[in-house]
Structure 1
């Protein structure tokens, strides 16, 4: 009888510990960890941060622009640069001094300024850059700072012992837009391909509107377990952002 009670007690303690562990993981509260007039960093999960910088535009005013920082075992991969070299310098300094981590790669998700406007700063710090091959071509055509490495097939890089993936699913905001995915936390950086809730269609000068929804449908099939989606502009959310964007560009 005593042995049975002891076994039951051990099982109860184990279940309680497991429950607390899951509650801890599910109850992570996002927090702003750095803020100046040019750069904001928000921690959105245990290992991931959204960086936000600003781009002055003629049509849309001073636009906040997002990127994603993935951190693991003192290594970092960043999707999209801040919009300028000075704000990129600020971000690199923050990573070095606060996270005490090595930036292994910077990945611009398409060729516009809000993705690679601060690329030169990363190159000056000897940080390797990777982009879809069309992004490299378009950057050259527009006399922008050019990524050093290109890929056609999905790019998989290690952050510590975890993978990140950059993949082109099709055209939408631009012909070259890719999305970033961190499977360990089921976080996707959608860049300008993905719209925040209630957003309008935005800049369409390089877009393929007729393919936009189809491209995102492919992403949903590939990554059905997405928990957090970071768009290129506006508030991050969950898979509802993909559904919203699909409906926004769906053609009858």
Structure 2
């Protein structure tokens, strides 16, 4: 648990040459419902997260928002859709997901010139405060703050202060994104 009503989920994928690579996301209880930030690497792992939510929190998952179009954040979209969960992503993430053969979110988020999500595209997001800072880890990466906490979650964009690298720089805007 990261804060009252906020949990971190972690999944791993064995990457040749790198070993088990971790990916984190969030589970947020908001009154009588749950909000999820990022899927696991796979549908099976995402289903395990949904099963944990049912067993431990026992509230419906109302929606999920993903922070960018890489497998570690969108790899479990089919599991969310099969469970009837509304999914949201940056419009650019949805475009990139389809180009890469991944499943896109059902709904596209758009952002104002100041970077904050247009409220009409993020209905019922409750405590989730979604921001597009511009290109960094990827061209589409967004961040999610949790109102009432000190949590700022950036998927792969925001690194731990002890991180020794930027991780996967393949889609990074290296002119603006540095360790």
TM over 0.5: yes
TM-score (norm 1): 0.64
2:8 matches 1:44: no
- 1:158 is displaced (CA, Å) by 3.6
3-state DSSP of counterpart to 1:93:
helix
Unaligned runs of 5+ in 2: 112-116
Contact 2:43 2:78 in 1 (8 A): yes
Q: Which has the higher Rg, Structure 1 or Structure 2?
A: 1
Which residue does the alignment assign to 1:209? 174
Which residue does the alignment assign to 1:74? 32
The one of 92, 110, 115 aligned to 1:152: 110
2:155 matches 1:197: no
- 1:185 is displaced (CA, Å) by 1.4
- Aligned residue pairs total 170
Distance 2:18 2:61 in 1: 32
Contact 2:38 2:64 in 1 (8 A): yes
TM-score (norm 2): 0.89
Task: State which drifts further: 122-131 or 204-213.
Answer: 204-213
Distance 2:23 2:17 in 1: 15
2:123 matches 1:168: no
What CA deviation, in whole Å up to 9, does each residue of 1:61-81 have, x standing for no partner?
211110011112121111100
3-state DSSP of counterpart to 2:166:
coil
What CA deviation, in whole Å up to 9, does each residue of 1:77-99 have, x standing for no partner?
11100111111111111111220
- 1:126 is displaced (CA, Å) by 0.7
The one of 108, 112, 116 aligned to 2:70: 112
3-state DSSP of counterpart to 1:205:
coil
Distance 1:59 1:150 in 2: 34
The list of structure 1 runs, each at least 4 consecutive aligned residues, that deviate by more than 6 angstroms after superposition, is none
Distance 1:193 1:59 in 2: 22
Which residue does the alignment assign to 1:177? 141
Q: What do you get for the CA RMSD once the two structures are aligned?
A: 1.5
3-state DSSP of counterpart to 1:66:
strand
2:65 matches 1:100: no
